[in-house]
Each structure stands twice: as C-alpha cells, then as structure tokens.
Structure 1
Amino acid sequence: MSDPDIHTRIKDLVDAEHQLRSQLGKGEISAADEQRKLADIERQLDQCWDLLRQRDAKREFGEPASEAEVRPQSVVENYES
C-alpha cells in the first residue's frame, strides 16, 4: 500500500467516524453500536498511522518503504502517541 493509499484509507475511516456520530444523533443506531464500531475504526486508524510511521522510518534508513507491513491491532493499540 502506498502512502497516498494509506492517507485515503485514513480519510475514509475518519468519514466513517463522522457518519456514525451523525447516525447516533439521528437515532439510527444505538450508543452501544456506535461505541463498538468507533472502537474498531480507531484500531484501524492506529494501524494506518503505524504503517505510515514504519514507511517513514524505512525511508530514513535507506530501506524500501514497501517492506513495511501492517501490524496486528493487538500490537498497535498498546502504543502511546
């Protein structure tokens, strides 16, 4: 996945967050459903940002950015910002 692809995915996930909040405000989904779906989106966002950081680090040290891999959610969700 290229950097522009990752940025597009991030934008799509942020749009999905906004849509969920709107649906909750309109009573189209329950608060529990919104929270469950938001938590999943946040984990996916963490993975995207982690992948971008990996790609940047590889470039910085002269390695191919394409060698960066998506890490499991269980790994990236425990990182501190």
Structure 2
Amino acid sequence: MAQKEQDQRILARITEMVEDERRLRAALASGQIDGSTEQRQLGELERELDRCWDLLRQRRAKEQYGENPDDAQARPSSQVEGYLE
C-alpha cells in the first residue's frame, strides 16, 4: 500500500474516533449513559487516539529522514502514554 494511502487510513481512523468521542458526550448529555460509562469509554478512545497519532508521527518522521514509513509500528498505549510523564 502506498505511504500516503496508509497515512490517510490512519487519519480516517482518527476522525472516526473523534466522532465516537462526540457521540459519547452527546449520549451523556441526553442521559443515555452515565458519567462513569462515558469516562471509561473516553479513556479507551483517548488511549487509542494517542497510539494512532504516535504511529502517524513515526511514519512521517521516517519519511522525512529517508526511511521506510512502513517500518513504523504501533506502540502499546503504556509506552505512548508514558511520554507525558
């Protein structure tokens, strides 16, 4: 698969997750779910979003430095989240 095509697939997944986040917030506001359910699901979404952004950044960095972007690997959320600490 072409590099730009793979990047577009990652960006499409990010867009889907952002829409999922909006739906969760709307479900909470309308009383369809409770706050703890929203927080749990939002946490899962945020971790997966961080992993997607990390993978996209890896791919772009590899391309910038003349490496193969397809060598980038999704890292576990524990590693990606650990960057903030």
TM-score bracket, normalised by the shorter chain, equals: over 0.9
Q: Structure 2 residue aligned with 1:44, among 39, 48, 66?
A: 48
For residues 52 and 79 of structure 1, the distance between their equivalents in structure 2, rounded to whole angstroms, comes to 16
The structure in which a higher percent of residues are helix is 2
3-state SS, counterpart of residue 14 of structure 2 = helix
**Contiguous gaps of at least 5 residues in structure 1:** none
TM-score between both structures, scaled by the size of structure 2: 0.90
Aligned residue identity for 2:58? Q
**Would you say how many aligned residue pairs link Structure 1 and Structure 2?**
80
Instruction: Choose the corresponding residue for 1:10, options 10, 14, 19.
Output: 14
Query: Which consecutive unaligned segments of at least 5 residues does structure 2 have?
Result: none
Q: Amino acid of the residue matched to residue 74 of structure 2?
A: V
The ranges of structure 1 where at least 4 consecutive aligned residues each deviate by more than 6 angstroms after the TM superposition are none
Task: Report the Cα offset of residue 62 of structure 1.
Answer: 0.8
Match of 2:25 in 1: 21
Q: CA RMSD in A?
A: 1.1
Q: Structure 1-normalised TM-score?
A: 0.94
